[in-house]
Amino acid sequence: MNSFAQAQRSITIGYGPAYANTEIWKDLHSKLVIPTEIVSITAAQRYNPALIILDHHLLREMDYPQWVEEFPEAIFLCSDSVDVDADLVLSNDLPYRQTCKLLEMACYQWVLKSEKTERARMRDTSFRYLNKLADISISLSAEDDLMTLLRKILTEGQNIACCDAASLFLINEINDHERELVFKLTQNDSMEFPFEEMRFPLDESSIAGYVALTDSELNIPDAYQLSDTVPYKFNQSFDRRTGYRTKSIFAIPLANKQKEVIGVLQFINRKKARSLKISDEKSALAYTLPFDSDINVLLQALASQAGIAIENTILQNEIKALFEGFVNASVAAIEQRDPTTSGHSFRVADLCVGLAESVSISNLTRLRNVRFTDTEVRELKYAALLHDFGKVGVRESVLVKEKKLTAGSLEHIQYRILLAKEKLKTQALSKQLAMFRNGGFNEERFQAIELQLHSDTSLLDEFYESIVDANEPSILKENNKEMLDKINSYCLNTQDEELSIITPEEFALLSIPKGSLSPTERKEIESHVVHTQNFLNHIPWTKEFQNIPTIAAAHHEKLDGSGYPYGMTESEIPLPSKIMTICDIYDALTASDRPYKPAMKTEKAIDILVEESDRGLLDGDLVKVFVDAKVFHAIDSQEYSTSSDFSSFSHHPCDHDLHEEGHSHRD
């Protein structure tokens, strides 16, 4: 039997009762060949023979096709008196030696067949594991939340190794010369327990520390049976505290793209079945297995993927934190220039996020298929935070212009009035002196000159009061318009010059019907949107945030084309910009941090939003979602940086279009 004995496999030959007295079994019986009589299907199932010699007795138990179906890996033999199409036929006339040779050939055939089956099984298993590792790789690379990623890594490792528990350690750089090991996460199938992140020095005294420092694997069959010669020890405190029994351990380093160790994966108590629970030492000794080389190769592949995925996620989180810091610093810089309106950008951003999320779950017909992804919501949030950055490009004199006249103009007018008064007095005195010189003093004439002087100077005082009143940014009254026309036409003729009270430029500013900005200054305020877009266009946005400049640039556009800066119409305005417009107007109306207007009540602000949508300026469906979902409550419980110091007046660009003619945006 040398031809198949080299396979070093134990082969059971099962035969029916008709072959029980065959002398050949005495010669065939060895450590590798075990002849066994089987008298029933039950006996055959118990021994699971490699070779089955069928006789009439066994075929009465079950017909041949059923035998083949029950034992698909067996080789079937029968005598020529049995009418079945078996693999081999043992003829009754076959000499003894040839019978032995035939059985030897059958055994060898089984060896070849079983090896082929095993190779096929291994190929299927390898293919299945490769697919699994590919799926794991895709899953890990798609995860950007660190703790979720770590849990996935441990779960997949437990699935691969069929182990009870797993832990993950990360290396933290304290400074250039000092590092520590952070016990970041652990999972256990058999018990639940409170977990707290722990930190301890990175040295070789622990299993994880040793693996990290030496960049080597440790495969420990029994954690309680470590040699005294190894530098590391197993910490039994968890086992003592919980009654758990740690037995087999496989610890493997995690490396980044530069092959630097960034952490350690530790798998604990490989089990015979994942469903088995290990609650004490008895169950641990009964159910656990050592980690074998086949499983370890797969865990190595997982660790390779995990190390890179962890590094990428940490880098992504750092980039996100850096970007968040940049955005917040930019907003802080904007609001530092105008502390009286600080908090506006953050409130608008929170309202935009709330409205976008509400739109995604809305059942309104037109919005039913609109679903904002997390990335799109973040894009809208950043656009909202930065939507007013362009105000840094607006001249300070325009931004802080509280009255209609420019700084210093009122003082110049007051000086001209005082000068006019003095000239009037001089003219009156000259007339009175002339009377004395000519010897024709007339008391009545003298008093008439005095009365005229008083009337003229009183008119100038009235002019000044009207100018001060008209200089306020409130609505210009009709009688003030008439007075301004009178002031503008006033001209005092003197010997050397003609003196006017106001210049044409000052008359134009004082004639502003509402607010404090001239049309040119309004255009400059409006230009903050273009400045914002130009600034944001200079930032190399990633693909997921490439629409931020466009979204931010359209937040003052109106559906009917009356907005600015481009006069876009409904089909041209991006949906996120329409959302921002609504949120921006709502905050501008209700903000309590404006020195030039009181905060409007929520109900009134909502009425205005509805009115604007009815006029075809705002998206009616979005306004309905804003109101029905009570999105405005998103900022109720939040604290935003605001200033109670209104001593330094400053226009907020987003309030500008609330003061246009025809808009009744006031309490």
Instruction: Choose among 42, 47, 52: nearest CA to 72.
Output: 52
In a domain, 307, yes or no: yes
213 in the same domain as 175? yes
Give yes or no: residues 42 and 157 share one domain: no
Q: Would you say residue 284 lies in a domain? A: yes
Give the CA diameter of the chain.
Answer: 178
Give the integer Cα–Cα distance in Å for 156 and 146. 15
pLDDT band, residue 655 (cuts 50/70/90): low
Q: How far does the chain reach from its first CA to its final CA, in angstroms? A: 107
Same-domain pairing of 178 and 307: yes
Q: Residue 9 belongs to a domain with what CATH number? A: 3.40.50.2300
Question: What average pLDDT score do residues 100-112 get?
Answer: 82
Give the confidence band of 667 by pLDDT, cuts at 50, 70, 90.
very low
In a domain, 310, yes or no: yes
Same domain, 358 and 393: yes
pLDDT of the residue at 2: 45
Our count of domains for the chain comes to 4
Query: For the domain that residue 221 is a member of, what is the CATH number?
Result: 3.30.450.40
Lowest mean pLDDT, pick from 160-174, 373-387, 507-521, 535-549: 507-521
* Phi (first) and psi of residue 163, to 5 degrees: -115, 160
Cα 113 to Cα 7, 75, 76, 281, 563: the distances in Å are 12, 9, 13, 42, 81
Percent of the chain with pLDDT over 90: 40
Do 358 and 462 lie in one domain? The reply is: no
Whether residue 302 is contained in a domain is answered as yes
pLDDT score recorded for residue 127: 59
Shared domain for 415 and 389, answered yes or no, is no
Q: Would 202 be classed as within a structural domain?
A: yes
**Residue 481: Cβ within 10 Å count:** 14
**Based on the domain organization, do 311 and 432 belong to the same domain?**
no
Asked if the model's pLDDT at residue 132 lies above 50, the reply is yes
pLDDT of residue 437: 80
* Same domain? 175 vs 301: yes
The reply to whether 205 and 255 lie within a common domain is yes
Q: Are residues 231 and 277 in the same domain?
A: yes
Residue 352 inside a domain? The answer is yes
Residue 389: CATH number of its domain: 1.10.3210.10
The answer as to whether 667 is a domain residue is no
Task: Return the minimum-mean-pLDDT range out of 284-288, 379-383, 469-473, 569-573.
Answer: 469-473
Q: Does the reported pTM lie above 0.75? A: no
pLDDT tens digit sequence for 23-76: 777 776 665 788 889 999 888 988 889 889 899 999 998 999 999 999 988 889
Q: Are residues 446 and 305 in the same domain?
A: no
Condensed to tens digits (0 to 9), the pLDDT of residues 436-466 reads: 887 777 888 889 989 999 999 999 999 999 9
Instruction: Please tell me the predicted confidence (pLDDT) of residue 216.
Output: 94
Q: What is the per-residue pLDDT across 358-372, written as a single tens digit (0 to 9) for each?
A: 999 998 888 888 999
Q: What angle do CA 637, 638, 640 make, to 5 degrees?
A: 145
Q: Which of 148-152, 284-288, 334-338, 616-620 has the lowest mean pLDDT?
A: 334-338
User: What mean pLDDT is reported for the chain?
Assistant: 84
In a domain, 138, yes or no: no
Using CA atoms, how far residue 537 sits from 24, 82, 453, 523, 546, in Å, is: 92, 89, 64, 21, 9
Which is it for strands 51-54 and 11-15: parallel, antiparallel or unpaired? parallel
The more confidently predicted of residues 476 and 122 is 476
Quote the domain boundaries for residue 252: 143-316
Measured in degrees and rounded to the nearest 5, phi and psi for residue 189 equal -70, -25
Q: Residue type at 528?
A: H
Angle, alpha carbons 272-274-275 (nearest 5°): 105
Instruction: Indicate whether 535 and 622 sit together in one domain.
Output: yes
Tell me the average pLDDT across 637-649: 59
Position 504 pLDDT exceeds 70: yes
| Per-residue confidence band for 412, with pLDDT thresholds at 50, 70 and 90 | very high
Lowest-pLDDT range of 168-172, 181-185, 243-247, 539-543: 539-543
- Three-class DSSP labels, 430-468: HHHHHHHHCCCCCHHHHHHHHHHHHHHHHHHHHHHHHHH
Per-residue model confidence as pLDDT tens digits over 299-351: 888 888 888 888 888 888 888 888 888 888 888 877 776 665 668 889 999 99
Whether residue 126 is predicted with pLDDT greater than 60 in this model: the reply is no
Q: What is the 3-state secondary structure (H, E, C) of 636-665?
A: CCCCCCCCCCCCCCCCCHHHHHHCCCCCCC
